[in-house]
Structure 1
Amino acid sequence: MTGQSYGGFTPTGTIATAADRRRVVFATVVGTTVEWYDFFIYATAVGLVFGQLFFEPLGANSGLIAFATVGVSFLFRPLGAFLAGHFGDKLGRKTVLMWTLILMGAATALIGVLPTYQAIGITAPVLLVLLRILQGISAGGEWGGAVLMAVEHAPKTRRGVFGASPQIGVPLGLLLASGVMALMTIVAPGDQFMAWGWRVPFLLSVVLILVGYYVRRKVEESPVFQELAERKEKARMPIVQLFAKHSLLVIIAALVFAGNNAVGYMTTGGYIQGYATNPEGPIGLERGPVLWAVAGSAVTWLISTLFAGWISDRIGRRTTYIIGWVLQLIGVFALFPLVNTGQIGALFAGLAILTIGLGFTYGPQAALYSELFPASIRFSGVSISYAIGAIAGGAFAPTIATAIVQATGSTQAVTWYLAGMTLIGLVATLLLRDRSGIPLGPDHEAEQSVSPIYGVAKA
């Protein structure tokens, strides 16, 4: 039974057991949670401490510049995606995932011991930005490998729910990052938090990376890649082939993610945390309660992400996404009216409503992307589409939102900006055919290479 659609069979014909699948799911969840914890702990710290500790000489613009460093890392995600896509299609998904985990962990731990501006001057923010760039390169390579390990191991009727396993690493990473930061506001309150408390979550990354590395090392390589390797059918220049034949598909797939990512980065990018806790702003809430509210909303995000992956196996990826865009639009218009009440309960409600739509436009993404691209260039296709979507969407969303509020004194224009990004995601989704259940193995490259874009007959 070789060359099948990977509905439970390995390339050698051995039936993949339920235990094998559980191991893959567990490894992708743990690995992506650790990766995104590292990535989001930076964004959380930007909204709370980095403006003051690393960019204070910039005065009124310190917060704006600090948020810009969140976006700078996104500019290097395509580099990570290009490298990971090339080596992932040549050397395997598992090898790339091990290196992205190590790179992210090392960069995060080094931020935890980085001297501040007061100690070493301009060198401090320069080193901070360089370490954030390394995080961006790692994040650019991580996602594609994680989702392919999950989806390519899955039975074809359960790709949505299997693909949702690395997707929940985002809300879990946000939950962990916000929860640890909130805990540190209790352990090291007030000035102690600014002096040393914020460093502990970064240093904790060392332990998490060791756990993630151990778990990932136990997982078998993707069966699709194993068969490509056995047949010696790996693409020589996968990135060149991707852009030569599928450049329009990459752009449309990127815009699907951009619509989700711009809205999601209101919390994962640290904007709501900074906006709600700014003592000179209109709300001025305490750090701890805001962080706990964000952590709580990560739970609703996790649940909706898992559910969306599951339901997409029943009603299709495209239909699930369309429902998600409607829900996300509702959440966008509810967010700031609730946040601006200055009540912590209302802030949580606004974030919880928003995350329902975010889950529906994120949970099916792993399966959707995997079913869009041919096997031999799939790692490159999903990684680069994701990286470009992250730049177009979340890269500078917190910076844009900060600039809008500074210019207008109101969050109303921010709402319209997020609504516009949501509509872009909806339009991009409508341009794609639903390919749920398409065979993923190398025997079906011809079928996979037919363009999924409406109105485009060939790739």
Structure 2
Amino acid sequence: MIQQSQTAAHAPVLAKTPKRAALSSWIGSALEYYDFAVYGTAAALVLNQLFFPKDTAPGVAIFAAMATVGVAYVVRPLGALIMGPLGDRYGRKFVLMLCLFLIGGSTFAVGCLPTFDQVGYLAPALLVLCRVIQGLSASGEQSSAISVSLEHAAEDKRALTASWTLHGTQFGTLLATAVFIPFTLFLSEDALMSWGWRVPFWLSAAVVLVAFLIRRGLEEPPAFREAQQAQAAGNAVKGPSPLAMTLRFHKAAVARVAVAAMINSVNVVFTVWSLSFATNIVGMDRSTMLLVPVVANLIALLAIPASGALADRIGRRTVFVLGALGAGLAMNGYLGAIYSGNWTMIFLMGILMSGLLYSMSNAVWPAFYAEMFPTAVRVTGLALGTQIGFAVSGGFVPVIASYLAGAEGDNWLRVSVFVGAACVIAAIAAFTAKETKSLTLDEIDELHLAREEKELVR
């Protein structure tokens, strides 16, 4: 590793392309979260009625549909074990292109699946298979996109540049929710259940095409290309695998990221469980309820780059912790407003919780987490940490929330306390991390290299 670093130091300076990298990361993340959000929305509104037996109790059907939402999150750590090392060994762009077609193809396939009435239990089995492919590919997409945008960024704008990856996730979530509104508003129940729900899944093909056209011209980050050139010239010895290096020297960072990533519980409850709670339990209007995340995400599109820029000025850790604690507290007001049927408070608390407070943490974590790892293992470490955290929050939170809500599905207070506790735990984990705002990526690499050498000596 020392020889590789010395060789890279004498190599020609390669140009960074922060705008193209940010755009590439943005479009891929938009696709990823469009796919995830469109499935979550469909699971809350229609899939529980189409892919499970008709005589299933409503609460049980909702529980089963939420479980299929969670499947994609549960398999994401496995995807991280595969995609992360590929990104560090063969390139960020390689993984970005691979994941693009995997996640886009599996989402399109969901729109083509037969229902339970047509093929029986084969229908939910195929549904789960598509979700597994989504989860495996998503684990590599986001970590590679964040790494490529961070490594192409100007040193004093790393948090802002990396935040565009999460800006893409918000746009994808917004688009997925907005797409369903005209179908629920203008289609009859029969039309929605027969073909209307399929169209949002088919639309992912258009996003795949656009993302491909943008990404095919993307260059690998300079640091990665320098390492590859050194190895190709025979001036560097091929060291241990990125996975082995991560597990040997960066276990603490992986664990810290995994716990901090529990902040995702806010988003999962907001976009999936609360929608099901509002429409199936409280009886709120579907179309109006779908507008809540749309409005919140519109606000988030402004809040995310603003929070990223703020993190470049005052630090990643401070912004993340404030957002996590604030969002956890605001969840209580949001679910309480739904239960009381107060539309004004539902919109206000949804905007405050998700659009503003959660967006603070959401904007900052790409740079915050990625800077906990050196360039050589950044995709692997980031993928493992985030996907373990997302597997717990995304895979189990919908099911846990449904369980905590009780047989009648109306105990929202217990769900609120659970989300608040998850946010406090995430904030504590983030507070233990080193602030990296004032360090360059080269300085971060040097610190990690020095620590690795000390551990080897011991």
Q: How does the TM-score come out when normalised to structure 1?
A: 0.91
Q: Does the CA contact (< 8 Å) of 1:88 and 1:380 recur in 2? A: yes
- Matched with 1:150 is 149
Q: CA–CA distance in 1 between the matches of 2:191 and 2:444?
A: 59
Letter paired with 2:246: L
1:243 to 244, 247, 267: 247
Structure 1 residue 344: deviation in Å?
Answer: 3.1
Structure 1 residue 346: deviation in Å?
Answer: 2.4
Deviations 1:121-151 (A, max 9, x none): 0100000001011011011111110001110
Q: How has the CA–CA distance of structure 1 residues 444 and 272 changed in structure 2, closer, same or farther, with 3 Å as cutoff?
A: closer
Answer with 146-155 or 74-83: which moved more.
74-83
Letter paired with 2:57: G
Q: Does the CA contact (< 8 Å) of 2:181 and 2:287 recur in 1? A: yes
Q: Does the CA contact (< 8 Å) of 1:187 and 1:197 recur in 2? A: no
Q: Does the CA contact (< 8 Å) of 2:70 and 2:394 recur in 1? A: yes
Q: Does the CA contact (< 8 Å) of 1:370 and 1:382 recur in 2? A: yes
- Matched with 1:334 is 333
RMSD value, Cα:
2.4
Answer with 229-238 or 285-294: which moved more.
229-238
Q: CA–CA distance in 2 between the matches of 1:113 and 1:211?
A: 22
- Matched with 1:364 is 364
Quick check: 1:48 aligned with 2:45? yes
Q: CA–CA distance in 2 between the matches of 1:321 and 1:418?
A: 16
1:59 to 57, 60, 78: 57
Letter paired with 1:387: Q
- Matched with 2:179 is 180
Q: How has the CA–CA distance of structure 1 residues 189 and 307 changed in structure 2, closer, same or farther, with 3 Å as cutoff?
A: farther
- Matched with 2:90 is 91
Q: CA–CA distance in 2 between the matches of 1:11 and 1:201?
A: 48
Deviations 1:348-382 (A, max 9, x none): 22211111221111111111122111111111001
Q: Does the CA contact (< 8 Å) of 1:34 and 1:173 recur in 2? A: yes
- Matched with 1:252 is 256
Q: How has the CA–CA distance of structure 1 residues 372 and 449 changed in structure 2, closer, same or farther, with 3 Å as cutoff?
A: farther
Letter paired with 1:248: A
Q: CA–CA distance in 2 between the matches of 1:92 and 1:115?
A: 38
Q: CA–CA distance in 1 between the matches of 2:450 and 2:5?
A: 19
Q: How has the CA–CA distance of structure 1 residues 156 and 121 changed in structure 2, closer, same or farther, with 3 Å as cutoff?
A: same
Letter paired with 1:266: V
Structure 1 residue 385: deviation in Å?
Answer: 0.6
- Matched with 1:347 is 346
Q: Does the CA contact (< 8 Å) of 2:72 and 2:132 recur in 1? A: yes
Deviations 1:412-431 (A, max 9, x none): 11111011001101110121
- Matched with 1:37 is 34
Q: CA–CA distance in 1 between the matches of 2:74 and 2:450?
A: 31
- Matched with 2:223 is 224
Q: CA–CA distance in 1 between the matches of 2:139 and 2:403?
A: 26
Q: Does the CA contact (< 8 Å) of 1:171 and 1:302 recur in 2? A: yes
Q: Does the CA contact (< 8 Å) of 2:75 and 2:391 recur in 1? A: no
Correspondence list, 1:23-422, <5 A: 23-57=20-54, 58-60=56-58, 61-232=60-231, 235-258=239-262, 260-268=263-271, 270-278=272-280, 281=281, 283-355=282-354, 356-407=356-407, 409-422=410-423
Structure 1 residue 313: deviation in Å?
Answer: 0.1
Aligned length: 442
Q: How has the CA–CA distance of structure 1 residues 450 and 434 changed in structure 2, closer, same or farther, with 3 Å as cutoff?
A: farther
Q: Does the CA contact (< 8 Å) of 1:86 and 1:238 recur in 2? A: yes
Structure 1 residue 231: deviation in Å?
Answer: 2.1
Q: How has the CA–CA distance of structure 1 residues 15 and 149 changed in structure 2, closer, same or farther, with 3 Å as cutoff?
A: closer
Q: Does the CA contact (< 8 Å) of 2:45 and 2:276 recur in 1? A: yes
Q: Does the CA contact (< 8 Å) of 2:18 and 2:154 recur in 1? A: no
Structure 1 residue 28: deviation in Å?
Answer: 1.3
Structure 1 residue 15: deviation in Å?
Answer: 4.6
Deviations 1:146-200 (A, max 9, x none): 0011100001110010010101122111100000011222342322111111100
Q: Does the CA contact (< 8 Å) of 2:79 and 2:137 recur in 1? A: yes
Q: Does the CA contact (< 8 Å) of 2:31 and 2:172 recur in 1? A: yes
Answer with 395-404 or 156-165: which moved more.
395-404
Deviations 1:19-78 (A, max 9, x none): x32222222111210121011111110000111100134334111011011111111101
Q: Does the CA contact (< 8 Å) of 1:90 and 1:235 recur in 2? A: no
Q: CA–CA distance in 2 between the matches of 1:428 and 1:112?
A: 39
Q: CA–CA distance in 2 between the matches of 1:217 and 1:227?
A: 20
Answer with 367-376 or 311-320: which moved more.
367-376
Q: Does the CA contact (< 8 Å) of 1:44 and 1:178 recur in 2? A: yes
Structure 1 residue 3: deviation in Å?
Answer: 7.5
Q: CA–CA distance in 1 between the matches of 2:80 and 2:264?
A: 17
Specify the SS of the correspondent of 1:376. helix
Deviations 1:297-316 (A, max 9, x none): 11122322222111000001
Q: How has the CA–CA distance of structure 1 residues 248 and 14 changed in structure 2, closer, same or farther, with 3 Å as cutoff?
A: closer
Q: CA–CA distance in 2 between the matches of 1:362 and 1:324?
A: 8
Structure 1 residue 432: deviation in Å?
Answer: 1.1
Q: Does the CA contact (< 8 Å) of 2:73 and 2:392 recur in 1? A: no
Letter paired with 2:364: P
Q: How has the CA–CA distance of structure 1 residues 94 and 376 changed in structure 2, closer, same or farther, with 3 Å as cutoff?
A: same
Q: CA–CA distance in 2 between the matches of 1:302 and 1:150?
A: 18
Q: Does the CA contact (< 8 Å) of 1:374 and 1:448 recur in 2? A: yes
Quick check: 1:21 aligned with 2:18? yes
Letter paired with 1:140: S
Q: Does the CA contact (< 8 Å) of 2:78 and 2:136 recur in 1? A: yes
Specify the SS of the correspondent of 1:13. coil
Q: Does the CA contact (< 8 Å) of 1:111 and 1:131 recur in 2? A: yes
Q: CA–CA distance in 1 between the matches of 2:112 and 2:450?
A: 51
Specify the SS of the correspondent of 2:406. helix
Letter paired with 1:216: R
Q: CA–CA distance in 1 between the matches of 2:169 and 2:239?
A: 31
Q: Which has the higher helix share?
A: 2
